Chain A
Amino acid sequence: MNRDTRIAWINGLLLPFLNVLTAFVATAVVFLLIDVNPIEAAEVLLYGSFGYEEGIGYTIYYTTNFIFTGLAVAVAFHAGLFNIGGEGQAYVGGLGAGLAILFLDPTLGAWVFIPASIIGALVFGALWALIPAYLQAYRGSHIVITTIMFNFLAASMMVYMMVHVLRETGQMTPQSELFPTNAWMPFVHDVMAGFGYTIEASPLNLSVLLALLCSVLVWFFLWHTRWGYAIRATGKNSTAAVYGGIKPKRIIIVAMCISGALAGLVSVNELVGYQHRLIMDFHLGYGFGGIAVALMGRNHPLGIIVAALLFGTLYQGGAELAFEMSGISRDIVVVMQGLVILFCGALEYMYRPWLVRNLAPVNTQGELGATP
């Protein structure tokens, strides 16, 4: 194996593997710090997420959210943009889905409601990303700062909407009226019952198919269409992209709108699929979780599905852990997300110099020619 192939192996496989491993080891250390046996914890966690049908349903339900936000972050990453505003876009997407349902005639059928709510979520999520994208492309303000600000703006706006505009009459809690049953995304257990299979009820709904469809579409879009090529070219080197006839400003807008739209779909799973009404803070944590998912999944839809499943497992298993063991809570998942972002993102190349030195040393005999 020559040096270039070795380096490709290091970058492509060994490094990501070591990074994830480091994040896991660090999580184990956190478990030890709080006096919990990591192996015992892992057993409880795995049982909670895969040990029984309801648990599996919850796991896939959470996974769905992480697929949406992971894809959202990844599409922006490919354009060289860091969309930190997934939280806000998911939240505002919920407004779009909710408004679409609440303003339609409640007697309409599911064939109107479900597509309408999906379109509502897509459009509102995209709009909430469009403004920061426009400001980045045409006014030179940094996308990271504006999307952070837009997360807070979304939170304020949603509180206002929930308290003053959409609150169910006669209710103290800021939540909207229940969606008409026609507008509910079918539960998987109901669908399966229709085919004659009985499985335990869980929040898992058909949005998971939407998430898988989005994964395929994103893969096709990024690697097999002209726009996808333009996005990746801009992300790799926007100056070079200009010489290829690509307009980076337009690419920023397109990539961010797709990113925001994908983040907005979290609300389809959460609200249309399970809560069946517009509620506060349904989105919390998924936007940021998406960053960890995208980094761990190497910005590829397949990797994202795997990483999302891991975080979905942790999310559901974490709930079981908090239930079974005292002195621990689901926030351990947040710790793990932080560690994944740290080791797979910020410290991505920590082991690289060491690995290259040991596994692919520069050949001084001149086989490949020493670099000057």
Chain B
Amino acid sequence: MNDIFLTVLLTLDATIRVSTPLIFAAMAGLFAERSGVVDIGLEGKMLAGAFAAASVASIVGSPWAGLGIAILVSTSLAMLHGFATITHRGDQIVSGVAINILVAGLTIILGLAWFHQGGLTPALSNESRFLSITLPFVEQLALIPVLGPIYKELISGHNILVYLAFVVVPMVWWVVYRTRFGLRLRAVGENPKAVDTAGLSVIKLRYKALIVGGVLCGIAGAYISTAHNAQFTRDMTAGQGYIALAALIFGKWRPLTVMLACLLFGFLDAVAVRLQGVSIPGIGEIPVQFIEATPYLLTVILLAGFIGRAIPPKAVGTAYVKER
């Protein structure tokens, strides 16, 4: 019994660690898409952030410096996306694809030129990473049945960015639903003309949304290379940006449900790792690939309207043309 309890706890613990970058990236996507800009480039911005963070952290020796540069690089890419899609009214999807492909190549080329390690960045020492934090009173509380282990295994022992992710979600909710900026953001994604008529700049609002998204993607990238791992490796985001996009749709563009979708997808990932080669009595071995494919399958089914309906912000994907 105790064994099963511990296995469940450890799986949930892994879920939280895997979900963290998804949450940051999905929140980034939420800002962009709520403002009416499709953001396929989450993947590329995360990858660029991961590369920047690992490079700088390995040179400077501080994860915070890495995080700062990751945010800077990711935000610059977000601005490039804005320049192409908001200023020049280019296709938002084409621009996102361009960013993803560009970053996929550039991180390897620059890594190779700067570090000469086959496209990897040097392995980070503990001082230059975000390490796990043991929360106070873990040992004292560990004796309490059920709650003690939950506190010890599940809640304590994560790095600061994990806790930040779970602080960011209510903050995003508050910004989107309870502030003036949030109201305008939602309006500009639904009906930009009305916002324009009210005398607000559609362009400025969308740029602001992309800046917020850039910052969040930068954090997601830094988490992947300097907290979850200890160096940058080729294509290390491995489609997490697309999973985050799926979670954004699955959570219907609402912060709390998007977070739950991220946790669900993270959980599936953690389960897939744990079930590798394990035979379940009565069922036999479940192919890992099947569990890995579930998030994508769920999103397709949801989008097709077979379970509920996912309705995107009305103006998403279209550039705003002010009538003259």
Contact = CB atoms under 8 A, between A and B. Distances in A.
Given A135-B303, A349-B90, A328 B112 contact: yes
Nearest to A142: B303
Contacts of B85: 346
B105 A335 contact: yes
Given A145-B249, A291-B97, A346-B94, A153 B102 contact: no
Please report whether the interface of chain A is mostly helix, strand, loop or mixed according to DSSP.
helix
B289 A160 contact: yes
A10 to B, nearest CB: 15
A144 B173 CA distance: 27
A84 to B, nearest CB: 7
For A30, A149, A160, A331, the residue with the greatest tally of chain B CB atoms inside 10 Å of its CB is: A149
Given A34-B113, A341-B94, A152 B239 contact: yes
B303 A338 contact: no
Contact of A152 (B91, B110, B242): B242
A139 B305 contact: yes
B305 A342 contact: no
Interface string B58-69: 000000000000
B122 interface: no
B290 A156 contact: yes
Nearest to A35: B113
A299 to B, nearest CB: 13
B103 interface: yes
Interface stretch (B174-182, B217-225, B292-300): B292-300
B28 to A, nearest CB: 17
A339 B97 CA distance: 10
A328 B111 CA distance: 10
A157 interface: yes
A28 B106 CA distance: 13
A276 to B, nearest CB: 25
B94 A141 contact: no
Given A34-B110, A341-B94, A341-B101, A148 B304 contact: no
B57 interface: no
Contacts of B245: 145, 148
> In the complex, which of the residues B98, B99, B104, B287 has the most CB atoms of chain A within 10 Å of its own CB atom?
B98
Given A327-B113, A329-B112, A331-B105, 15 more contacts: A30-B109, A33-B110, A82-B91, A135-B304, A142-B303, A148-B242, A149-B242, A331-B104, A331-B109, A334-B102, A341-B102, A342-B102, A345-B90, A346-B90, A349-B88
Minimum-distance CB pairs A-B, first 8: A338-B102, A334-B105, A346-B95, A141-B303, A34-B113, A335-B105, A342-B98, A338-B101
